[in-house]
Structure 1
Amino acid sequence: MTCFGIDTGTPSLGEADQLAHDLGDRLRLPPQAVVCTHLVRNDDAHVALSVWVPPGFDGLWNELTRFAESGTAGVASGTGRSGRPGLAAAAADAAVEHLSRTGGRAVLYPGSAGLTGTVRIGELLARSAIARVNAVGGEPPSADDLLDTHDRLRPEWRAGELVLAVTSIHSGLFAPVETPAPTPCRADHA
């Protein structure tokens, strides 16, 4: 088993991103691992995760089932399921979507940790698992164009490839369509 689904009923993408990073650290995932978020569209809409690890990374299923046995999660891989049945079913759907590479928003993926600051599109494609960059509403970027990463890139699986959606800021400079949520101001402006 190399692809797993995990569902804790996480209500937002931001919280799911944090959970993905926490799981990556807790499980000591290898740099080749891919962790994605998946929207669960049902009466209790939320976000599930999927984790793909290369063959030979043993023990992950046992660790995940221990996590699910806490009663607050569901996990799945292949035909195996553990934890809360509804969450385990959504986890299974996330794992299938990831394994088929037809859906999922990648949070951790090969090369993601090094994609900070401003990078050339060609470097991004050479140094990461991102296979393609699509410009929304414009001409596609060239290999020499720049991308302001905002220190956070979230490509999505599309037809078997990780694809990053970007928008043009001005000639030769692009930014990801999905940007981090701003931190609310906590100042007292009375």
Structure 2
Amino acid sequence: MTPPSAPYAIGIDTDATTLREADHLLQALAAELDLPQGVFGCTHLVRDGRPRVALSLAAEAAAAEPVLRTARDRLTAQGYEVRDGAPDEVGRAVLYPGAGALTGTLTLAELLARSAIDRVTVLGTPDEPAPDARLVTRDHVRPQWQHGRLVLAAMPAAGGTLVPFEDPDPTPCCADH
């Protein structure tokens, strides 16, 4: 797989303050830059004096270097601060090979075969889930890099299915106050 620290990676500082905002920005930039399928796009939480969500674009293939160099030039021209390398090693993948094919309900075997995801873990269980376990994707599958592997955290759901841990429509904190 291609972790955020791939041989060809750039980090993009943004003013995004939520994951949803960063996801939309990353997807818009990828479309605008016409990035090839093998490029990974991740979000990274930045916890300094100005909390925000940074982005990274990474690829392992040498052919990606000119694409990322062009992306760097265009993003810099748009006023983004762009640097070599990802902000950290644990990016949350939004763009990755096969991400678009992860819709509806899939078995874990299908999920792993269709995408760059290496592994699925289920919260609260030490064992690997069965390959025939069904995952209701909610059309929102955001794995994270862990030790150089793209890992999707899932949790049990109704009817013996699993769902990705990250909710596509989270309720804001204190929404009812």
Specify which of 74, 78, 81 is matched with residue 74 of structure 1.
Answer: 81
Match of 1:5 in 2: 11
CA deviation after TM superposition for structure 1 residue 23, in Å: 1.4
Alpha carbons 1:141, 1:172 under 8 Å: kept: no
1:68 partner letter: T
Specify which of 13, 29, 32 is matched with residue 26 of structure 1.
Answer: 32
Aligned-residue CA RMSD (Å): 2.0
Match of 1:56 in 2: 63
Alignment of 1:29-40 (within 5 A): 29-40=35-46
Match of 2:3 in 1: none
1:130-160 deviation digits (Å, cap 9, x = unpaired): 1010100135320001000000100000011
Match of 1:105 in 2: 92
CA deviation after TM superposition for structure 1 residue 170, in Å: 4.4
The two structures have a TM-score, normalised by structure 1, of 0.79
Q: 1:169 to 1:70 in 2, by over 3 A?
A: closer
Alpha carbons 2:98, 2:114 under 8 Å: kept: yes
Match of 1:181 in 2: 169
Match of 1:141 in 2: 129
1:53-105 deviation digits (Å, cap 9, x = unpaired): 3321314324423422443x21011xxxxxxxxxxxxxx551xx3xxxx3100
Alpha carbons 2:57, 2:68 under 8 Å: kept: no
Structure with more relative contact order (C-alpha pairs < 8 Å, separation 6 or more): 2
Q: Which runs of 5+ in 1 are unaligned?
A: 78-91, 185-190
Correspondence 1:121 to 2:128: no
The structure with more radius of gyration? 1
2:68 partner letter: L
2:32 partner letter: R
Alpha carbons 1:27, 1:60 under 8 Å: kept: no
CA deviation after TM superposition for structure 1 residue 183, in Å: 8.6
- Which whole-Å CA distance do the structure 2 matches of 1:63 and 1:36 have between them? 15
- Which consecutive aligned stretches of 4+ in structure 1 deviate over 3 angstroms post-superposition? none
Q: Determine helix, strand or coil for the equivalent of 2:63.
A: coil
Percent of aligned pairs with the same amino acid: 43
CA deviation after TM superposition for structure 1 residue 7, in Å: 1.0
Correspondence 1:131 to 2:118: yes
- Which whole-Å CA distance do the structure 2 matches of 1:62 and 1:121 have between them? 36
Q: Determine helix, strand or coil for the equivalent of 1:42.
A: coil
Q: Determine helix, strand or coil for the equivalent of 2:157.
A: strand
2:114 partner letter: R
The two structures have a TM-score, normalised by structure 2, of 0.84
Correspondence 1:153 to 2:119: no
Question: What is the total number of aligned residue pairs between the two structures?
Answer: 163
- Which whole-Å CA distance do the structure 2 matches of 1:178 and 1:127 have between them? 20
Q: Which runs of 5+ in 2 are unaligned?
A: 1-6, 173-177
